[in-house]
Amino acid sequence: MKLIIMRLLSAAAVCALLGAASAAGVAPRAATAPAESTTPGASAAQNEGNTLRASTFGEGAPLNEGDLRGTGITHGASATYNEGAVLGTNATLDDYVSYALERNPFLRSYADLHDAMKWIPAQRRALPDPTLSFGYFARSIETRVGPQEQVWMLQQKFPFFGKLSLKGQIAEREASIAGETYRDQANDLVEKVKRAYFDYYHVYRLIEIAKEEKKILLRMQDVAQVKYASGQVGQQDVLKAQLSHSAVEDDLTKLERARVGVTARLNNLLNRDPDAPLAIPRADVPEADLGDIERYYDVAEAHRPELSAAALAEEKAAKAKSLAKRQYFPDLALSMQYVRVDERPVPLLEANGRDALLFSASINLPIWFHKLSAGVKEAEARIALARHRKESVRTTIRSDVQDAHARVRTAVERVILYRDVMIPQAEQVFRASEAGYQTGKIDFLSYLDSERMLLGVRKMHVEAVADLGRQIAHFERMIGVELDEIGM
């Protein structure tokens, strides 16, 4: 009989442990079905571009390319990371962005953090571990049926209805905030890659312009040499041309050093060797008018992960308040106690040596109301804090969008001015000066000044194009989505 009871007690302990593990919701890693949205207004945001909202990064939600569409992260970023991605000699800006989203270790650390946090809700919803206790009587307690020798007790605590569910919901919001943080860092990385790319384009084009200027100066030097040989001009014209050529050589040396720096910076974002070769950069930047700014306010509020994270923080605070109110209710503990009783040498009763089995229930007494009330008030203060932070984020977003919108419009105007007005004018002046010098109507210094003017305008045009690319990248960062995704 005693052996049977001991086996039953052991089986009950194993069942309780298995039940706790089952309640924890431990699932295979392959289970990646995304949870339904829990963020107010999520459906409206999804209509605006399949926006990632609260539950997109909730419990069990994988990071995949489909989830990242409509968020400014549309270049193939995923939690599986394509390790075989390569950059060819014809790589475009989009290729660099996709490569960075897949390979950048700093961004991957945020993906890993979210991947870890999405398993926390199942742990928070699980019952506490059952307690198995054993006691041995150093001095036996004598009873009518014999002395008590050992005590085994199995206890399981059951928090009040709703407490574990609320803890799980709070953990889901925390995991979703981690997902929004990942999105924010991905958008930031995209902007950094684009800025570095246009810095590289800027230096690359300046080197090309300097090489073209060398050819022009050599031609000017030949013209001056011919005129000097015929006695039309003095030797100073030839020396000035040679000096200008040497100055361009010095500029090329500085530009090559600058290219090494921007190449290393871009490769660092791509997680490549600093001197890894880069493709010839192309500046495919739109020059269309962005239109009414009011549209972009709505786009930014629907797509900026900072605002989504702030809304999730407010939801989390509201759930924490509900949990604080639940603390007024007691938790239940059920226990089973088995007492092994030894037999008397001389039995006095028929039940000699019969073991005892006791079932009991207990609750905690939440009577310290000042502590419980303080917990509720703290939660209310945190709700107000989250609400004010969300409003602050919304106001900041509108200010950021307005500033970035103005910068893009200014950059577009500069590009058009240099390309359509100033460069044609400078080329016309240079051609006239070249013809005038050859016919002796102007001196070499005026000829050289016109060449320098053309060079300066071409450099400013390249700088304006690169700046436009940077400003568009910043504007897309501020609205949380790329322009081509919203029809621009």
Q: What is the number of domains present in the chain? A: 1
**Which residues does 196 contact at the CB level (< 8 Å), separation at least 6?**
262, 265, 266, 269
Rounded-to-5 percentages of helix, strand, coil across the chain: 65, 10, 25
- Tell me the Cα Rg of the chain: 37
Q: In CATH, what number is assigned to the domain containing residue 74?
A: 1.20.1600.10
Only one residue has tokens 């207990």, namely 362
Span 188-228, pLDDT tens digits: 999 999 999 999 999 999 999 988 888 887 877 777 777 77
Q: What are phi and psi of 180, to 5 degrees?
A: -65, -35
296-319: average pLDDT: 95
Q: Say what the pLDDT of residue 165 is.
A: 95
1 burial (CB, 10 Å; 0-12 / 13-18 / 19+) is: exposed
Question: Which of 146-155, 235-244, 371-380 is the most confident on average?
Answer: 371-380
Q: Say what the pLDDT of residue 457 is.
A: 92
pLDDT, averaged across the chain: 81
Which domain does 474 fall in, by range?
32-103+159-329+366-486
Q: Is residue 4 part of a domain?
A: no
Q: Are 56 and 34 in contact (CB under 8 A)?
A: yes
Print burial letters for 232-255: b (CB count within 10 Å at least 16), e (below 16): ebeeebbebbeebbeebeebbeeb
Token pair recorded at residue 111: 């993906």
Q: What is the Cα–Cα distance from 11 to 15, expressed in whole angstroms?
A: 6
Span 326-373, pLDDT tens digits: 999 999 999 999 988 877 765 656 666 678 899 999 999 999 999 999
Q: Is residue 307 part of a domain?
A: yes
Q: Is residue 434 part of a domain?
A: yes
Q: Is residue 263 part of a domain?
A: yes
Q: What is the Cα–Cα distance from 299 to 397, expressed in whole angstroms?
A: 11
Q: Say what the pLDDT of residue 317 is.
A: 96
Q: Which of 167, 186, 192, 172 shows the shortest CA–CA distance to 63? A: 186
- Cα dihedral 245, 251, 257, 260 sign: negative
Of the two residues 368 and 38, the one the predictor is more confident about is 368
Token pair recorded at residue 214: 């060398």
What pairs with residue 362 in β-bridges? 333
Q: Is residue 352 part of a domain?
A: no
Q: Is residue 17 part of a domain?
A: no
Q: Is residue 292 part of a domain?
A: yes
Q: Is residue 191 part of a domain?
A: yes
Q: 442-451: long-range contacts (C-beta < 8 A, 24 or more apart)?
A: 443/237, 444/224, 444/233, 444/236, 444/237, 444/240, 444/241, 445/240, 447/220, 448/220, 448/240, 448/241, 448/244, 450/426, 451/213, 451/216, 451/217, 451/220, 451/244
Q: Say what the pLDDT of residue 69 is.
A: 34
